[in-house]
Amino acid sequence: MQTFRTPSTTADADRPATLPAGLGRRSFLGLALGAGAVLTLAACGSDATPATAGGTGGTLKWGWALPTSWDPVTSSAGWDVHVLSLVYAGLTKENEKGDPVPALAESWKYTADGTSVTFTLRKGTTFSDGTPLDATAVKKSIERGRDHPKSLIAAQLANIKTVTAPDAGTLTLSLAKPDFQLPALFAGKTGMVVNPKAFEAGADAAALATKPAGAGPFTLTSYVQNSRAVLRRNPTYWDAARIKTENFEVYPLPEPSTVVAALQSGQYNVAQIPGSQVEAAKAAGLQVQVIPSLVVATLDVNIKKAPFTDPDVALALKYAIDRQELLKATAFGHGEVSYQPFPKGYVGHNDELDDLYPYNPQKARELLAKAGHADGVELTITTSVAQGVPELVQAQLKKVGITAKIEVIPASQATQIIYIQHSRALFTDQFAGRDSAVQAFQVLFGEQGLMNPGRTVDPELTAALDVVRRTPLESPEYPKLLQKATSIAVRSMPNVFLYTVPRILARSPKVSEIPAFTVVQRFEGVTAS
């Protein structure tokens, strides 16, 4: 049986002390990579005596993004995971390298065939309102994610046949087929445990969209839609000793032209900034951290829409793009050219793909001629970004005979138009990565994948991913099998990957260094004075 146990001390919580030999070397990341109504909430647990030490005062003001929903089941953006992690906890979390490590579960065991996994929960944990967080509560939360008619995480949980809670501290999942990805999957939105009191009979489950009910490091105390979320440290959080900031505020993504001034004025003391503002932030005396992430800029191609119904046109697009020029001009060199969904150092990154589709206008023109477009072809670039990438892509396509017009749609409508209605041929986007590598493949290339607008699948890729699921994460074969799946996906699917997008955070000198978590940004140990 595959076993994972928690380290013996809280200080070592991110260091997998008893991982099977070699997993550290085969880690997920081998390198550190309009205003609505005001909603006021009870600060559940905020007046309780802290169960552990921590909380040194101060307020962290984060210019980042507000979630599409505070309910992890109906949240529609991968980006939401960063803020939802402030108010929810999962059975697992991921350390700086991307390895799944204990969180609400202190250990887990798989059966040898991978068709059942048992989690042992920490004793004495509660939700932020004081309700016991036991195996029955986790069971109900998982079943809701799998079975809720509007669940956007259901596809990731479909393989779970039954969830049983034989006692308060034990949870067993029986699977339809082997799947060793669950510890990684449960580190993200899919594994966030929602308090059943918020959705069981008599509860207004729809309220979860604005009133989260979790067991995370903070509790939401007030929320102004599209404007601000105010949170307070949760003293009953299982790892509360490492949460030093007493208050936390989250704001929408700042305007690039004003973010440095807003940081100087104190409107924020930590904020996401674009590459274009790095030098200005440094000149203003701000601290700047460039944290590797799983985000990659992409062009999403719908091969059921002309002119991409011809595979040669879709292939020509990959050679027509000068990724280095895009990286330099739009990201000011922060990031790396990429031809695949995973960054260098990630276990799924395949080095053989590093220059698979080099900029080659002549080859692009030849492929277009082969498709019957020797005299050129017209298309539309749909985007939710007013300037930058779309204009440069438009200019690059013109050089190979593709005349493109630009259509700008509201970001709030992009998911509906592009990924639900499937009504556009080409869209500029960014893929936020996922905690589980197989989940990332599902989102990008799966039959129901949100970022697969054509909803086409490759049987060879499906078979390769099935093998990956059946392989324990600590197996020496796992990296090779995952990289094989990456190669099949990149060669067979139409997605055009452009460059990696690091998380660039500027902060006041009064805020301590932000931990470099590659997958989900967390704030253990951060202080603000």
Q: What is the mean pLDDT of residues 308-337?
A: 96
Strand, helix or coil for residue 307:
coil
> What is the gyration radius of the CA atoms in the chain, in angstroms?
23
Quick one: CA dihedral 17, 432, 72, 467, positive or negative? negative
H/E element, 291: strand 287-291
pLDDT confidence band for 386 (50 / 70 / 90): low
Position with higher pLDDT, 90 vs 97: 90
Q: How much is the pLDDT for 76?
A: 86
Cα–Cα distance measured from residue 207 to residue 341, given in angstroms and rounded to the nearest whole number: 35
Q: What is the mean pLDDT of residues 443-462?
A: 89
Q: How much is the pLDDT for 48?
A: 35
Tens-digit pLDDT profile for residues 183-236: 999 999 999 999 999 999 999 999 999 999 999 999 999 999 999 999 999 999
CATH number of 296-500: 3.10.105.10
The encoded tokens of residue 262 equal 């807003």
Peptide bond into 307 cis (omega under 30): yes
Give the residue extent of every domain in the chain.
Answer: 2-247, 296-500
pLDDT confidence band for 79 (50 / 70 / 90): confident
Q: How much is the pLDDT for 12?
A: 29
Residue 21 has pLDDT above 80, yes or no: no
Q: How far is CA 427 from CA 379, 382, 404, in A?
A: 11, 5, 12
Tens-digit pLDDT profile for residues 165-195: 999 999 999 999 999 999 999 999 999 999 9
430, β-bridge pairs: 297
Q: How much is the pLDDT for 320?
A: 98
Residue 6 has pLDDT above 70, yes or no: no
Question: Comparing 143-157, 448-462, 478-492, which segment has the lowest mean pLDDT?
Answer: 448-462
Q: How much is the pLDDT for 52?
A: 53
pLDDT confidence band for 105 (50 / 70 / 90): very high
Percent of the chain with pLDDT over 90: 78
The mean pLDDT of the chain is 89
pLDDT confidence band for 14 (50 / 70 / 90): very low
Strand, helix or coil for residue 80:
helix
Q: How much is the pLDDT for 96?
A: 77
Tens-digit pLDDT profile for residues 229-256: 999 999 999 999 999 999 999 999 889 9
Residue 56 has pLDDT above 80, yes or no: no
CATH architecture of the domain with residue range 2-247: 3-Layer(aba) Sandwich (3.40)
Q: Smallest Cα–Cα separation from 180: which of 88, 92, 74?
A: 92
Residue 27 has pLDDT above 50, yes or no: no
Q: How much is the pLDDT for 224?
A: 95
Q: What is the mean pLDDT of residues 75-83?
A: 90
Q: How much is the pLDDT for 53?
A: 64
Q: Which of 49-63, 86-100, 114-128, 410-424 has the highest mean pLDDT?
A: 114-128
pLDDT confidence band for 55 (50 / 70 / 90): low
Residue with tokens 């009133």: 211
pTM, two decimals, is: 0.83
